[in-house]
Chain A
Protein backbone atom coordinates (compact mmCIF):
# COMPACT_ATOMS: atom_id res chain seq x y z
CA UNK A 1 0.00 0.00 0.00
CA UNK A 2 1.01 3.56 -0.65
CA UNK A 3 2.15 5.31 2.44
CA UNK A 4 0.29 8.60 1.67
CA UNK A 5 -2.75 7.58 -0.45
CA UNK A 6 -4.56 10.95 -0.28
CA UNK A 7 -1.49 12.91 -1.37
CA UNK A 8 -0.82 10.38 -4.13
CA UNK A 9 -4.38 10.61 -5.47
CA UNK A 10 -4.30 14.41 -5.40
CA UNK A 11 -1.02 14.48 -7.34
CA UNK A 12 -2.46 12.02 -9.84
CA UNK A 13 -5.59 14.15 -10.30
CA UNK A 14 -3.50 17.28 -10.83
CA UNK A 15 -1.37 15.43 -13.39
CA UNK A 16 -4.45 14.20 -15.29
CA UNK A 17 -5.98 17.69 -15.32
CA UNK A 18 -2.71 19.20 -16.52
CA UNK A 19 -2.49 16.73 -19.40
CA UNK A 20 -6.15 17.32 -20.31
CA UNK A 21 -5.66 21.10 -20.29
CA UNK A 22 -2.51 20.73 -22.41
CA UNK A 23 -4.37 18.63 -25.00
CA UNK A 24 -7.23 21.13 -25.10
CA UNK A 25 -4.85 24.03 -25.63
CA UNK A 26 -3.11 22.13 -28.44
CA UNK A 27 -6.44 21.60 -30.18
CA UNK A 28 -7.16 25.33 -29.91
CA UNK A 29 -3.73 26.36 -31.17
CA UNK A 30 -3.85 24.10 -34.23
CA UNK A 31 -7.15 25.70 -35.31
CA UNK A 32 -10.13 24.07 -36.97
CA UNK A 33 -9.90 20.65 -38.51
CA UNK A 34 -9.62 20.06 -42.23
CA UNK A 35 -13.34 19.24 -42.43
CA UNK A 36 -14.25 22.53 -40.76
CA UNK A 37 -11.95 24.49 -43.08
CA UNK A 38 -13.44 22.80 -46.16
CA UNK A 39 -16.94 23.54 -44.91
CA UNK A 40 -16.00 27.22 -44.42
CA UNK A 41 -14.58 27.41 -47.96
CA UNK A 42 -17.71 25.76 -49.35
CA UNK A 43 -19.97 28.21 -47.48
CA UNK A 44 -17.97 31.22 -48.70
CA UNK A 45 -17.96 29.97 -52.30
CA UNK A 46 -21.71 29.24 -52.33
CA UNK A 47 -22.49 32.60 -50.68
CA UNK A 48 -20.43 34.34 -53.41
CA UNK A 49 -22.48 32.63 -56.15
CA UNK A 50 -25.73 33.57 -54.40
CA UNK A 51 -24.59 37.17 -53.95
CA UNK A 52 -23.94 37.58 -57.69
CA UNK A 53 -27.04 35.83 -59.02
CA UNK A 54 -29.16 38.12 -61.24
CA UNK A 55 -32.38 39.18 -59.57
CA UNK A 56 -35.39 39.35 -61.89
CA UNK A 57 -33.09 38.86 -64.87
CA UNK A 58 -31.15 42.02 -64.09
CA UNK A 59 -27.80 42.54 -62.38
CA UNK A 60 -27.77 44.39 -59.11
CA UNK A 61 -25.92 47.72 -59.14
CA UNK A 62 -22.32 46.87 -59.89
CA UNK A 63 -19.78 47.92 -57.28
CA UNK A 64 -16.30 47.10 -58.52
CA UNK A 65 -14.60 47.96 -55.21
CA UNK A 66 -16.96 45.77 -53.22
CA UNK A 67 -16.51 42.91 -55.70
CA UNK A 68 -12.70 43.21 -55.59
CA UNK A 69 -12.76 43.26 -51.81
CA UNK A 70 -15.01 40.18 -51.60
CA UNK A 71 -12.86 38.24 -54.08
CA UNK A 72 -9.69 39.22 -52.19
CA UNK A 73 -11.22 38.10 -48.89
CA UNK A 74 -12.28 34.68 -50.20
CA UNK A 75 -8.99 34.23 -52.06
CA UNK A 76 -7.21 34.84 -48.76
CA UNK A 77 -9.40 32.19 -47.10
CA UNK A 78 -8.24 29.66 -49.70
CA UNK A 79 -4.61 30.72 -49.27
CA UNK A 80 -4.86 30.40 -45.47
CA UNK A 81 -6.57 27.01 -45.74
CA UNK A 82 -3.87 25.72 -48.07
CA UNK A 83 -1.13 27.03 -45.77
CA UNK A 84 -2.77 25.36 -42.77
CA UNK A 85 -2.62 21.95 -44.41
CA UNK A 86 0.21 19.71 -43.41
CA UNK A 87 2.53 18.43 -46.12
CA UNK A 88 1.78 14.96 -44.82
CA UNK A 89 -1.47 14.82 -46.79
CA UNK A 90 -0.68 16.25 -50.25
CA UNK A 91 -4.19 15.33 -51.50
CA UNK A 92 -5.67 17.94 -49.14
CA UNK A 93 -3.44 20.69 -50.49
CA UNK A 94 -4.23 19.66 -54.07
CA UNK A 95 -7.94 19.69 -53.31
CA UNK A 96 -7.81 23.20 -51.83
CA UNK A 97 -5.71 24.42 -54.75
CA UNK A 98 -8.24 22.98 -57.23
CA UNK A 99 -11.13 24.52 -55.32
CA UNK A 100 -9.34 27.89 -55.30
CA UNK A 101 -8.98 27.53 -59.07
CA UNK A 102 -12.73 26.87 -59.39
CA UNK A 103 -13.44 29.97 -57.32
CA UNK A 104 -11.15 32.12 -59.50
CA UNK A 105 -12.98 30.90 -62.62
CA UNK A 106 -16.31 31.88 -61.06
CA UNK A 107 -14.93 35.26 -60.00
CA UNK A 108 -13.68 35.85 -63.57
CA UNK A 109 -17.14 35.03 -64.94
CA UNK A 110 -18.81 37.46 -62.51
CA UNK A 111 -16.20 40.12 -63.35
CA UNK A 112 -17.12 39.73 -67.03
CA UNK A 113 -20.92 39.44 -66.75
CA UNK A 114 -21.57 41.25 -63.43
CA UNK A 115 -24.27 38.73 -62.57
CA UNK A 116 -25.03 35.05 -63.09
CA UNK A 117 -28.24 33.56 -64.45
CA UNK A 118 -30.40 31.79 -61.86
CA UNK A 119 -30.02 28.54 -63.84
CA UNK A 120 -26.25 28.82 -63.83
CA UNK A 121 -26.28 29.62 -60.09
CA UNK A 122 -28.42 26.54 -59.35
CA UNK A 123 -26.20 24.32 -61.50
CA UNK A 124 -23.04 25.78 -60.00
CA UNK A 125 -24.25 25.21 -56.44
CA UNK A 126 -24.94 21.57 -57.30
CA UNK A 127 -21.46 21.27 -58.77
CA UNK A 128 -19.85 22.85 -55.70
CA UNK A 129 -21.81 20.50 -53.49
CA UNK A 130 -20.42 17.59 -55.50
CA UNK A 131 -16.89 18.98 -55.29
CA UNK A 132 -16.75 19.67 -51.56
CA UNK A 133 -18.80 16.67 -50.52
CA UNK A 134 -16.59 14.32 -52.50
CA UNK A 135 -13.62 15.35 -50.43
CA UNK A 136 -15.43 15.49 -47.11
CA UNK A 137 -16.66 11.95 -47.76
CA UNK A 138 -13.16 10.76 -48.66
CA UNK A 139 -11.60 12.23 -45.54
CA UNK A 140 -14.28 10.99 -43.17
CA UNK A 141 -13.82 7.36 -44.24
Chain B
Protein backbone atom coordinates (compact mmCIF):
# COMPACT_ATOMS: atom_id res chain seq x y z
CA UNK B 1 0.00 0.00 0.00
CA UNK B 2 1.30 3.46 -0.83
CA UNK B 3 2.24 6.00 1.81
CA UNK B 4 -0.48 8.29 0.46
CA UNK B 5 -3.09 5.57 0.89
CA UNK B 6 -1.83 4.99 4.45
CA UNK B 7 -2.34 8.69 5.14
CA UNK B 8 -5.80 8.73 3.58
CA UNK B 9 -6.82 5.63 5.52
CA UNK B 10 -6.40 7.60 8.73
CA UNK B 11 -9.46 9.63 7.74
CA UNK B 12 -12.43 7.54 8.89
CA UNK B 13 -15.19 10.09 8.18
CA UNK B 14 -17.50 8.37 5.63
CA UNK B 15 -18.72 11.70 4.24
CA UNK B 16 -15.34 12.24 2.56
CA UNK B 17 -14.92 8.72 1.19
CA UNK B 18 -15.61 9.93 -2.35
CA UNK B 19 -13.24 12.87 -1.93
CA UNK B 20 -10.47 10.52 -0.78
CA UNK B 21 -10.97 8.26 -3.80
CA UNK B 22 -11.11 11.24 -6.16
CA UNK B 23 -7.96 12.77 -4.62
CA UNK B 24 -5.97 9.52 -4.90
CA UNK B 25 -7.11 9.10 -8.53
CA UNK B 26 -6.16 12.68 -9.45
CA UNK B 27 -2.73 12.26 -7.87
CA UNK B 28 -2.17 9.03 -9.83
CA UNK B 29 -3.31 10.67 -13.07
CA UNK B 30 -1.06 13.69 -12.42
CA UNK B 31 1.96 11.50 -11.70
CA UNK B 32 1.37 9.66 -14.97
CA UNK B 33 1.03 12.89 -16.99
CA UNK B 34 3.59 13.64 -19.65
CA UNK B 35 3.75 17.36 -18.77
CA UNK B 36 6.64 17.95 -16.35
CA UNK B 37 4.77 20.65 -14.41
CA UNK B 38 1.67 18.49 -13.78
CA UNK B 39 3.86 15.53 -12.91
CA UNK B 40 5.93 17.50 -10.43
CA UNK B 41 2.85 19.17 -8.90
CA UNK B 42 1.17 15.81 -8.26
CA UNK B 43 4.34 14.38 -6.69
CA UNK B 44 4.76 17.43 -4.48
CA UNK B 45 1.12 17.45 -3.35
CA UNK B 46 1.36 13.76 -2.49
CA UNK B 47 4.52 14.41 -0.45
CA UNK B 48 2.96 17.37 1.40
CA UNK B 49 -0.05 15.24 2.37
CA UNK B 50 2.22 12.46 3.63
CA UNK B 51 4.33 14.99 5.58
CA UNK B 52 1.20 16.40 7.27
CA UNK B 53 0.09 12.87 8.11
CA UNK B 54 3.54 12.16 9.62
CA UNK B 55 3.26 15.43 11.61
CA UNK B 56 6.30 16.80 9.86
CA UNK B 57 4.43 19.88 8.63
CA UNK B 58 1.75 22.07 10.17
CA UNK B 59 -1.47 23.14 8.48
CA UNK B 60 -0.07 26.69 8.11
CA UNK B 61 2.86 25.29 6.18
CA UNK B 62 0.68 23.04 4.05
CA UNK B 63 -1.64 25.97 3.25
CA UNK B 64 1.35 28.14 2.28
CA UNK B 65 2.58 25.49 -0.18
CA UNK B 66 -0.90 24.99 -1.67
CA UNK B 67 -1.61 28.69 -2.12
CA UNK B 68 1.82 29.21 -3.72
CA UNK B 69 1.30 26.21 -5.99
CA UNK B 70 -2.04 27.63 -7.09
CA UNK B 71 -0.27 30.79 -8.29
CA UNK B 72 2.29 28.74 -10.22
CA UNK B 73 -0.40 26.48 -11.66
CA UNK B 74 -2.47 29.44 -12.90
CA UNK B 75 0.55 30.58 -14.91
CA UNK B 76 1.08 27.08 -16.22
CA UNK B 77 -2.59 26.58 -17.16
CA UNK B 78 -2.64 29.93 -18.98
CA UNK B 79 0.41 28.84 -21.00
CA UNK B 80 -1.37 25.70 -22.26
CA UNK B 81 -3.40 25.39 -25.45
CA UNK B 82 -7.08 26.11 -24.86
CA UNK B 83 -8.11 22.46 -25.31
CA UNK B 84 -5.60 21.29 -22.68
CA UNK B 85 -6.41 23.96 -20.07
CA UNK B 86 -9.36 22.18 -18.41
CA UNK B 87 -7.38 19.00 -17.78
CA UNK B 88 -4.32 20.94 -16.58
CA UNK B 89 -6.50 22.93 -14.17
CA UNK B 90 -8.16 19.76 -12.87
CA UNK B 91 -4.83 18.02 -12.22
CA UNK B 92 -3.13 21.00 -10.55
CA UNK B 93 -5.41 23.69 -9.08
CA UNK B 94 -8.51 21.57 -8.40
CA UNK B 95 -6.49 18.74 -6.88
CA UNK B 96 -4.67 21.17 -4.56
CA UNK B 97 -8.00 22.75 -3.56
CA UNK B 98 -9.47 19.32 -2.82
CA UNK B 99 -6.52 18.54 -0.57
CA UNK B 100 -6.69 21.89 1.21
CA UNK B 101 -10.44 21.97 1.77
CA UNK B 102 -11.45 18.32 2.29
CA UNK B 103 -8.49 16.03 2.84
CA UNK B 104 -5.94 17.78 5.06
CA UNK B 105 -8.35 19.42 7.57
CA UNK B 106 -9.90 15.99 8.29
CA UNK B 107 -6.52 14.29 8.26
CA UNK B 108 -5.32 16.68 10.96
CA UNK B 109 -8.43 15.99 13.03
CA UNK B 110 -7.82 12.25 12.71
CA UNK B 111 -4.21 12.42 13.94
Contact = CB atoms under 8 A, between A and B. Distances in A.
A120 B57 CA distance: 6
B56 A127 contact: no
Nearest to B71: A98
B72 A134 contact: yes
Interface of A: 94-95, 98, 101-102, 105-106, 109, 112-113, 116-120, 123-124, 126-127, 130-131, 134, 138
Contacts of A138: 79
Contacts of B80: none
Interface of B: 37, 40-41, 44, 47-48, 51, 56-58, 60-61, 64-65, 67-69, 71-72, 75-76, 79
Main secondary structure of the interface of B (DSSP, over half): helix
Given A105-B68, A130-B37, A134-B76, A119 B44 contact: no
7 contacts: A98-B75, A109-B64, A120-B51, A124-B64, A127-B65, A130-B72, A131-B68
Contacts of B64: 105-106, 109, 120, 124
Nearest to A121: B61
Given A101-B71, A123-B44, 6 more contacts: A98-B75, A106-B68, A109-B64, A123-B47, A130-B44, A134-B72
